[in-house]
Chains A and B, each alone.
Chain A
């Protein structure tokens, strides 16, 4: 899925931002499904608590992959994710 030509601000700490986002999803959807989906995204390593341990150099690609994983679960949450990550 293509999420448009949005740009991530260069100064963002993507790793911390992703950790926050994943932890939020773990609360909303539960840890089992969130971690199962996140761990399908290539190049990202996440602890059982939802902390992002490593991300690849192209975070935009990772975020798009995360969106693809979550859009099937809840389009509403995915919209919110986009808004949070690209704000």
Chain B
């Protein structure tokens, strides 16, 4: 071989060698890239699948629903004969499977057996375990005799506590690839971790709620929709005399007086979506008021008036201890009674003495007579105010006692008109009575009813200008007697009308007008004590009409 030929051969071999090296390197790089691409594809698939599960779960906290969603998604994604779950519910173990490919009962039983063994080992429970509920979906075909050849279980662990397993089972042997199974584990773990985080947040919030509720002086406990106790504070336990840490609903029910029927009231609050407030209730040495309130999701509360279909998620029961308030009220009442009694006696004496002195006018000059008149008027006014104070005290404590008798409303009204005629004449006001002569007698407290008419006539005269008119009407209407007093006075502005019957409110009060602002408050309470109603119609600068309706029965 010539040197040139040798060189050419060497060059050819060198080129071929380089080509081989480049080709191998390229293939290696390609394989590497393909492998990376496959990993990326798997990762993307994993993410999309996880997103799909996450979208279906949302912020769901119901473990059973979440397990169902995961199991269903996996069943749709991977080939299996049976895809199912075994998990702990409130009532026991739930065995829930879907037969994807028809199998016989023996296959289902074998799957159940290995699932129970897995769950027992996972939870360190002893076999045999009892299944409380079974849900087997799909077709069981006795002719499809198959052997359980390939299966794997994914443990469901929420916040370090095993709650169940998801199982995929196949009749064909070794069909599940390691990569595929690892993928399923990743999937389920991610979904369950999301639940764990959510439950952790919930547990923290519950802890905050428990601390807040625990610091309340009032007793409070909350139950969920299934009437399971969610939280109870120490004050509630103390009021109910409960010693156990986590009492049952039965214990709570038994802590109330037998006639109280707690569960029935809770049921009413949930079904009617309305709060229930009970009257005073004696619990041992305490007097409490009980407020039972349905709990609805805060996010939906703004729609509460528009939509009736808002789910009730539970109920809260508040035990408001009014023992101290009641004893303070009793003390206050005693004090007012004592003060009123102590003031009344000397005031009556002053008024009487002034009256006696005024009868002997000859011995007093004009100035002294005026001073005497002031003493008489002011002592009378003070006496009236002291009496009002007592009335208010009785009204506030619901102690208004009616002394019922046969009352002729017309006679009573005529007497009151006569009483006010001198005052009306002094202002050139005309009182025009329209009394229904067919008016029947009514059963009422004559003294209190007289006080009502007296107050209304007094107000009308006070707020009606000179030359004005006051109409007093009585009539029978719809099984009720009506007494209506209207005037041509200054009227009451619309914005002040709503407060007119409140305590200490004086709508037309100016510097020249005297009074405590309690008159109409007392009037309203007396009318309501007679099961009657009071209505106001007023227009500014035109006049006011107050209509009282008292039931005939």
Residues of A within 8 A of B (CB): 24, 27-30, 32-33, 36-37, 40, 72-77
Contact status of A30 and B174, CB under 8 A, knowing A24-B121, A73-B185: no
Interface residues of B in 86-112 (CB under 8 A from A): none
Contact status of A76 and B186, CB under 8 A, knowing A27-B118, A32-B151: no
Taking the complex as formed, is B182 at the interface, i.e. its CB lies under 8 A from any CB of chain A?
Answer: yes
A75 to B181, CA, bound (A): 16
Within 8 Å by CB of B181, from A24, A36, A74, lies A36
Within 8 Å by CB of A33, from B117, B122, B178, lies B178
Taking the complex as formed, is B527 at the interface, i.e. its CB lies under 8 A from any CB of chain A?
Answer: no
Q: Are A28 and B122 in contact (CB under 8 A)?
A: yes
A32 to B174, CA, bound (A): 7
Q: Are A74 and B117 in contact (CB under 8 A)?
A: no
Q: Are B157 and A36 in contact (CB under 8 A)?
A: no
Q: Are A33 and B118 in contact (CB under 8 A)?
A: no
Q: List 25 A-B contacts (CB under 8 A).
A: A24-B121, A27-B114, A27-B117, A27-B118, A27-B121, A28-B118, A28-B121, A28-B122, A29-B118, A29-B153, A29-B154, A29-B155, A30-B151, A30-B167, A32-B176, A33-B176, A33-B178, A33-B181, A33-B185, A40-B178, A72-B182, A74-B155, A74-B157, A75-B189, A76-B162
Residues of chain B with a CB closer than 8 A to A27's CB: 114, 117-118, 121
Contact status of A72 and B178, CB under 8 A, knowing A24-B121, A29-B118: no
Residues of chain B with a CB closer than 8 A to A73's CB: 182, 185
Task: Mark each residue of chain B from 33 to 57: 1 if its CB lies under 8 Å from any CB of chain A, else 0.
Answer: 0000000000000000000000000
Residues of chain A with a CB closer than 8 A to B176's CB: 32-33
Residues of B within 8 A of A (CB): 114, 117-118, 121-122, 150-155, 157, 160, 162, 167, 174, 176, 178, 181-182, 185-186, 189
- Shortest CB-to-CB span from B423 to chain A, Å, is 90
Q: Are B155 and A36 in contact (CB under 8 A)?
A: no
Residues of chain B with a CB closer than 8 A to A36's CB: 178, 181
- Shortest CB-to-CB span from B416 to chain A, Å, is 86
Residues of chain A with a CB closer than 8 A to B174's CB: 32
A75 to B162, CA, bound (A): 12
Q: Are B114 and A30 in contact (CB under 8 A)?
A: yes
Interface contact tally, CB-CB below 8 A:
55
A74 to B160, CA, bound (A): 11
Q: Which chain B residue shows the least CB distance to A34?
A: B152
Residues of chain A with a CB closer than 8 A to B152's CB: 29-30, 32-33
- Shortest CB-to-CB span from B71 to chain A, Å, is 16
Contact status of A74 and B185, CB under 8 A, knowing A29-B153, A29-B155, A30-B152: yes
A3 to B45, CA, bound (A): 31
Residues of chain A with a CB closer than 8 A to B122's CB: 28, 77
Within 8 Å by CB of B155, from A24, A28, A72, lies A28
Residues of chain A with a CB closer than 8 A to B118's CB: 27-30
Residues of chain A with a CB closer than 8 A to B114's CB: 27, 30
Residues of chain A with a CB closer than 8 A to B178's CB: 33, 36-37, 40
Q: Are B150 and A32 in contact (CB under 8 A)?
A: yes
A75 to B193, CA, bound (A): 11
A75 to B167, CA, bound (A): 18
Within 8 Å by CB of B153, from A28, A37, A40, A72, lies A28
Q: Are B189 and A74 in contact (CB under 8 A)?
A: yes
Q: Which chain A residue shows the least CB distance to B185?
A: A73
A32 to B154, CA, bound (A): 12
Q: Are B181 and A76 in contact (CB under 8 A)?
A: no
8 A-B pairs closest in CB distance: A30-B152, A36-B178, A76-B157, A33-B152, A73-B185, A33-B181, A27-B121, A28-B121
- Shortest CB-to-CB span from B491 to chain A, Å, is 78
Q: Are A76 and B160 in contact (CB under 8 A)?
A: yes
- Shortest CB-to-CB span from A21 to chain B, Å, is 12
Residues of chain A with a CB closer than 8 A to B153's CB: 28-30
Residues of chain A with a CB closer than 8 A to B121's CB: 24, 27-28
Residues of chain B with a CB closer than 8 A to A75's CB: 157, 189
Q: Are A77 and B155 in contact (CB under 8 A)?
A: yes
- Shortest CB-to-CB span from A38 to chain B, Å, is 11
A28 to B153, CA, bound (A): 7
- Shortest CB-to-CB span from A41 to chain B, Å, is 13
Q: Which chain A residue shows the least CB distance to B177?
A: A36
Q: Which chain A residue shows the least CB distance to B120?
A: A27
Residues of chain A with a CB closer than 8 A to B151's CB: 30, 32
Counting chain B CB atoms within 10 Å of each CB, which of A24, A36, A72, A77 scores highest? A36
Counting chain B CB atoms within 10 Å of each CB, which of A30, A33, A40, A77 scores highest? A30
A28 to B152, CA, bound (A): 8
Residues of chain B with a CB closer than 8 A to A29's CB: 118, 152-155
- Shortest CB-to-CB span from A37 to chain B, Å, is 7
- Shortest CB-to-CB span from A5 to chain B, Å, is 24
A29 to B167, CA, bound (A): 9
A72 to B186, CA, bound (A): 7
